[in-house]
Amino acid sequence: MKPKKMFKIAMLAFIILLCGSINHSFADDGYDLWLKYNKISDSQKLSEYQAAISSVVVMGDSPTCKVIKDELQKGLSGMLGKDISFSDSIEKDGTLAIYTLKELGDEEFIIKNLRVDDKDCIIIASGKDIGLLYGTFDLLRMMQTGKSLDNLNISSKPKIQIRVLNHWDNRNGSIERGYAGKSLWKWDELPDTVDSRYTDYARANASLGINGSVLNNVNSDAVFFTTEYLKKIAKLADVFRPYGIKVYLSIRYTLPSQMKTENGIGPLQTADPLDPTVIEWWKDKAQEIYKYIPDFGGFLVKANSEGQPGPQDYDKTHADGANLLADAIAPYGGIVMYRAFVYDPDVDPDRAKRAYMEFMPLDEQFKSNVLVQAKNGPVDFQPREPVQPLFGAMVHTPVMAELQVTQEYLGWSTHLVYLAPMWKEYLEFDTYAKGEGSTMAKVIDGSVHDNKLTGIAGVSNTGDDRNWCGHFFAQSNWFAYGRLAWDHELTAEEIAEDWIKMSITTDSDAINTIKTMMMGTWEACINYQEPLGLHHQMDNSHYGPGPQISRASRIDWTPAYYNKADENGIGFDRSSTGSDFTSQYFSPWKEIFDNIETCPDKYLLWFHHVAWDYKMKSGRTLWDELCVKYYEGTDYVEQMAKTWESMKDKVDPEIFDHVTAKLNQHVIDSAKWRDTCIQYFQGFSKMPIPESVKNN
Q: Mind telling me the catalytic residues?
A: 306, 380, 408
**Whole-angstrom distance, CA of residue 372 vs CA of residue 310:** 15
User: 380: closest CA among 420, 344, 341, 423?
Assistant: 341
Contact of 132 with 126, CB cutoff 8 Å: yes
Q: Residues near 570 by Cβ (< 8 Å), separated by ≥ 6?
A: 534, 563, 564, 605, 609, 610, 612, 622, 626, 681, 684, 685
What angle do helix axes 318-329 and 276-292 make, rounded to 10 degrees?
A: 40
Backbone phi and psi for residue 687, each to the nearest 5 degrees, phi listed first: -110, 150
User: 397: closest CA among 362, 428, 427, 426?
Assistant: 362
Pairing of strands 246-251, 212-214: parallel
User: 380: closest CA among 406, 354, 353, 352?
Assistant: 352
Q: Residues near 333 by Cβ (< 8 Å), separated by ≥ 6?
A: none
User: 255: closest CA among 240, 265, 244, 247?
Assistant: 265
**Whole-angstrom distance, CA of residue 348 vs CA of residue 346:** 6
For residue 129, the one-letter residue type is D
Which H helix or E strand runs over 56?
strand 55-58
Contact of 279 with 330, CB cutoff 8 Å: no
CA 117 to chain centre: 44
Pairing of strands 298-301, 335-339: parallel
123: DSSP letter: E
Burial of 535 (0-12, 13-18, 19+ CB in 10 A): buried
CA 462 to chain centre: 10
Q: How far is CA 322 from CA 251, 270, 302, 612, in A?
A: 11, 16, 10, 46
In Å, the largest CA–CA distance within the chain is 96
Which H helix or E strand runs over 50?
helix 43-52
Which H helix or E strand runs over 373?
strand 370-375
CA 343 to chain centre: 24
Q: How far is CA 338 from CA 104, 237, 249, in A?
A: 31, 22, 12
Q: Residues near 18 by Cβ (< 8 Å), separated by ≥ 6?
A: none
